[in-house]
Amino acid sequence: MGYQDLEFANDSVFLITGAAGFIGSNLVEAVLDLGYEVRGIDNFSNGRKENIEEFINNENFNFIEGDIRDYKTCLKAAEGVDYILHQAALGSVPRSMREPLIYEDNNIKGTSNMMEAARQNNVKKFVYASSSSVYGDSKELPKEEGKEGQVLSPYALTKSVKEEYAKLYTKSYDLECIGLRYFNVFGRRQDPFSEYAAVIPKFIKILKDGNQVEIYGDGEQSRDFTYIENVIEANLKACLADSKAAGEAFNIAYGERFTINKVYDLMCEKLEIEREPIYAPERPGDIKHSLADISKAEELLNYDPDWDFKSGFAEAIKWYKENI
């Protein structure tokens, strides 16, 4: 259980892309806490400098301000690296519906650049962020790897293409790639200020500012919300996984679901606020229900998540109370 007791070779070097982002900065912190060398790269298009301020003076942390869309930058960043945790990407389904071309450039070209840089530098494992959005219009619950539907957004399409590249690089170039299909990750450092902020930090900020939350649809859409600690565990265990996991993608979640209405009610309770939400039309590209079957990750990655939604949610609320 957990990841605090995981061991790598003493001289292991990790490259974390998107290091100043929500998930990336948490991975930086976790790997540094384990005592290994971390190289981080970010262009601050999504990431925030304050997310990595506390690590800058750590002798085991080396930060590169750079863009993964530039192959030479990727090639240099991957020199001497054992493991790459590739988190850099543009998120947000709604934004991808409005600006599809920048998703192609960032998420697909950026990832293929990073994979090729990993191949050229003989990296041991390339672990990358995929998404539950690849299940598209599939109505089957729980979501199971190999039973995907048609994708519903450019964002989801870029994640699906990433997975195809990963299969190719694993089979044709012997680069061991492992995809992690994140299900609605939340926790400390998740940006509440962006126009495209995720639902939990966005709602918290709106409520704390004294405003009414807008919920799209009837609020009965459900999600398998996944606390950040579970995602850290999955990334690090993927680095140690047997070669038979290479080329595969895995659901990373807890395996339980909550409606948006339920999350909102819990949030109001934790913040001690009574305020009715406003309901708005559904958004194009959104998936109605999400619940993960995590048995494949349990079997091949030894994934064993400690944090259910309510325990993670309590920690997240505590962090946001102190930091926004």
Which residues carry out catalysis?
A: 155
Given a contact cutoff of 8 angstroms between Cβ atoms, the answer to whether 55 and 77 are in contact is no
Q: Which amino acid is at 153?
A: S
Q: Compute the distance between CA of residue 237 and CA of residue 8 in angstroms, rounded to an integer.
A: 10
In sequence order, the 6+-apart residues with CB closer than 8 A to the CB of 293 are 142, 143, 144, 145, 251, 255
Q: Compute the distance between CA of residue 236 and CA of residue 7 in angstroms, rounded to an integer.
A: 10
User: In terms of DSSP H, where are the helices of the chain?
Assistant: 22-34, 71-77, 93-98, 100-103, 110-120, 154-173, 199-208, 228-239, 260-271, 295-300, 309-323
In sequence order, the 6+-apart residues with CB closer than 8 A to the CB of 314 are 270
Report CA torsion sign: 179, 181, 187, 191: positive
